[in-house]
Amino acid sequence: MSTAFVFSGQGAQYPGMGKELYENSPAAKAVFDMAEEIRPGTLKQCFEGTKEELSVTINTQPCVFITDLAAAAAVTEKGIKADCAAGFSLGEIAAIAFAGMLSYEDAFKLVCKRAELMDKAAKSNPGAMAAVMKISPEMTEEICSQFEKAYPVNYNSPAQTVVAAAQEEIDALCEKVKSAKGKAVKLAVSGAFHSPFMNEAADGLADYLKDITLSEPQIPVYANCTAEPYADDYKMLIAAQVNHPVRWQKSVENMIANGTDTFIEVGVGKTLTGLIKKINADVKAVNIENKEGLDTL
């Protein structure tokens, strides 16, 4: 039996996230307190922030990241050991921190910088995103190819691919999806993430990472860009992730092929748990984000 910890990403946030972890797990509390020391106001945003406040990228990323990491600390405190890890988009930074590649402090500072760069890129290169369902990833790719600035960016499951596009193209793209008997739902996000719209953020992140020292991962961490465990140029993988697709389905399939049969989604929401069940119904997938989750673990 092999267990993977998977870390949720931006979009799963909600008011009050992490509060029960903070109140019921000393290990989780220590992680939150560390973040509060570096970025005062983080606890208030997580526990009391409004939906609107939490949906601003420069707030979302630090808050989701630290809730993910706190949940992993709480689960580890219960004696559960991870054999490998992966994170969806932002969650990948939590995964590499959990695997010992970065100290929690340095990882949190990296996330704050990542949020700032992605927010800036979103404002200077406006774009939109939509979840495409009921048609294959290949058909979604074909539809995107018919537009000047449209890209498949999150390969989530056999029946869901998220696309990024120029704001002036997104409505026409959604219509094409409907014509192909698919369903398209525009997402409430502030930018076209994981696409060329984020090129300047990737460049800024690569520059920031020059002064950061990364350690070897203590457990395999599957990279969004390659769907394979981190290897070779770690810094390139971290920077390239913001302007390249998230290959989530392939990452999960590769983890299963390498022996993973249990997935624990640590952190905010249960989006990844749902996707994993759609990718392979035979594996066990649970989410841990509150006291109830910890109690039933």
Burial of 19 (0-12, 13-18, 19+ CB in 10 A): middle
Please say if 244 is a catalytic residue.
no
| β-bridge pairing 221-222 and 84-87 | parallel
Asked if 191 and 122 count as a contact pair (C-beta separation under 8 A), the reply is yes
Q: Which is catalytic among the residues 25, 190, 194, 244?
A: 194
Write out the two tokens for 168.
Answer: 């002036």
User: How far is the C-alpha of 6 from the C-alpha of 276, rounded, in Å?
Assistant: 10
**Which of 157, 177, 154, 173 lies closest to 165 in space, CA to CA?**
173
Q: Which of 8, 25, 89, 195 is catalytic?
A: 89
SS3 at position 221: strand
For residue 254, give the H/E element and its range: helix 248-257
**Buried residues in 101-123 as b, exposed as e (16+ CB within 10 A):** bbebeebbbbbbbbbbbbbbbbe
Which residue has tokens 């990833």? 137
How many residues in the chain? 297
d(CA 85, CA 287): 14
CA distances from 293 to 43, 93, 215, 245, 287 (A): 21, 23, 31, 31, 7
CA–CA dist 264, 183 (Å, integer): 29
Backbone phi and psi for residue 160, each to the nearest 5 degrees, phi listed first: -145, 125
Write out the catalytic residue numbers.
89, 194
